[in-house]
């Protein structure tokens, strides 16, 4: 795919559609100075945003903790108009909705009355299965987790993720897995993790990780297939002996894990249940996006 000309399009910024080249925020914005804000990354299928209600609910839950709220508006209509303005009205796309505490005098203590900065960005994603979805991904272990502080919130403090992605890339891996107590898998830097063990799915408990929207939908799809989904502490060893394993996220959907560093997981190829979930998730997401329904 050709590199996306991210400055050539339109963004939504504080209530208006603005040319990306001219869209700027203040150097006093608290999102920039302190990472004081939240975001959501979503996916659109054929120009329609998927699981918007769930993403807004997660943003709202975190907003209540931080004392931040997303201004009211018809976000579905706004995002879909943004997609159209970027010629993505019939395409699959990545969507990022960003909320910061806004511009204020530079003190760490948040002001009582700042006006939030809100913006949305979009870019195209291929609508076919990506190479990593088809062929599977190599992952690597990171010797830390996001467990330390507010891991349940998708805050703008993404340094653990950036360092983790960089470490993974330097080892030739697609994703880094955060590890707690040198033993337990938590989540990927931008994904949740599932193992297939016999007739069950296993995933680490929600405590200490981001409550992934995709994780919840996969759990729902598995249970509606009559499969049990067990949330339990998941050791590195369990990954090595799993029948299959996969990562989930809104944009990457379901990505098979085929290797942990040099070690193959099971056959070293995407497993049948993983492929089944890839298909089911895609069909479900496309249908729900088209209907504009909550999931």
Nearer to ligand PLP, 247 or 265 (CB): 247
How far is 274 from 272, CA to CA, in rounded Å? 5
**Interacting stretch for ligand PLP, rule CB under 6 A, among 12-20, 128-136, 246-254, 264-272?**
246-254
Q: What are the angstrom distances between the C-alpha of 99 and each of 31, 91, 109?
A: 8, 25, 18
Q: Is 95 helix (H, G, I), strand (E, B) or coil?
A: strand
Kindly identify the residues of this chain, within the stretch 10-49, that bind ligand PLP according to CB under 6 A.
41
- Work out whether 248 is an interface residue with ligand PLP (CB under 6 A): yes
Are residues 217 and 295 in contact, defined by beta-carbon separation less than 8 angstroms?
Answer: yes
- Work out whether 202 is an interface residue with ligand PLP (CB under 6 A): no
- Work out whether 145 is an interface residue with ligand PLP (CB under 6 A): no
Report DSSP letters for 146-202, one per residue. GGGS-TTS-BS--HHHHHHHHHHHHTT-SEEEEEETTTEEEEETTBEEEEEETTEEE
- Work out whether 133 is an interface residue with ligand PLP (CB under 6 A): no
How far is 118 from 15, CA to CA, in rounded Å? 8
- Work out whether 215 is an interface residue with ligand PLP (CB under 6 A): yes
Query: Shortest Cβ distance from residue 98 to ligand PLP (Å)?
Result: 13
Nearer to ligand PLP, 30 or 215 (CB): 215
Radius of gyration of the chain (CA): 19
Cross-strand bridge partners of residue 119: 13, 98
Nearer to ligand PLP, 140 or 191 (CB): 191
Kindly identify the residues of this chain, within the stretch 257-286, that bind ligand PLP according to CB under 6 A.
none
**Interacting stretch for ligand PLP, rule CB under 6 A, among 13-21, 67-75, 108-116, 247-255?**
247-255
Query: Shortest Cβ distance from residue 72 to ligand PLP (Å)?
Result: 22
Torsion sign across C-alpha atoms 147, 150, 153, 155: negative
Nearer to ligand PLP, 30 or 154 (CB): 154
- Work out whether 192 is an interface residue with ligand PLP (CB under 6 A): yes
Q: Per-residue contact track with ligand PLP, 148 to 187, x per CB under 6 A?
A: ---------------------------------------x
- Candidates 227, 230, 176, 187; CA nearest to 211 is 187
Binding site for ligand PLP (CB under 6 A): 41, 187, 190-192, 210, 212-215, 248-250
């Amino acid at each position: 795919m050709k590199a996306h000309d991210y400055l050539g399009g339109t963004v939504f910024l504080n209530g208006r559609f603005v040319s990306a080249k001219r869209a700027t925020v203040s150097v006093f914005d608290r999102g920039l100075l302190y990472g004081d804000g939240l975001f959501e990354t979503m996916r659109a299928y054929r120009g329609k945003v998927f699981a918007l209600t769930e993403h807004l609910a997660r943003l709202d839950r975190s907003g209540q903790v931080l004392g931040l709220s997303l201004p009211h508006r018809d976000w579905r209509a706004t995002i879909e108009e943004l997609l159209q303005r970027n010629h993505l009205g019939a395409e699959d796309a990545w969507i990022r909705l960003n909320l910061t505490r806004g511009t204020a005098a530079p003190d760490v203590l948040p002001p009582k009355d700042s006006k939030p900065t809100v913006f949305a960005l979009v870019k195209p994603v291929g609508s076919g299965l990506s190479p990593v979805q088809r062929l599977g991904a190599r992952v690597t272990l990171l010797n830390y987790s996001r467990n330390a502080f507010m891991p349940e919130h998708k805050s703008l403090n993404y340094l653990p993720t950036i360092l983790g992605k960089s470490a993974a890339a330097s080892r030739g891996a697609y994703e880094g897995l955060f590890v707690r107590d040198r033993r337990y898998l938590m989540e990927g830097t931008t994904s949740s993790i599932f193992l297939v063990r016999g007739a069950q799915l296993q995933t680490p408990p929600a405590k200490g990780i981001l409550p992934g929207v995709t994780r919840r939908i996969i759990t729902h799809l598995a249970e509606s297939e009559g499969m049990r989904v067990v949330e339990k502490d998941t050791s590195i060893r369990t990954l090595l002996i799993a029948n299959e394993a996969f990562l989930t996220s809104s944009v990457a959907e379901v990505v098979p894990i085929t290797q942990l560093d040099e070690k193959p997981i099971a056959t070293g190829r995407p497993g049948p249940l993983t492929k089944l979930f890839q298909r089911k998730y895609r069909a479900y997401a496309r249908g729900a996006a088209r209907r504009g329904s909550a999931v």
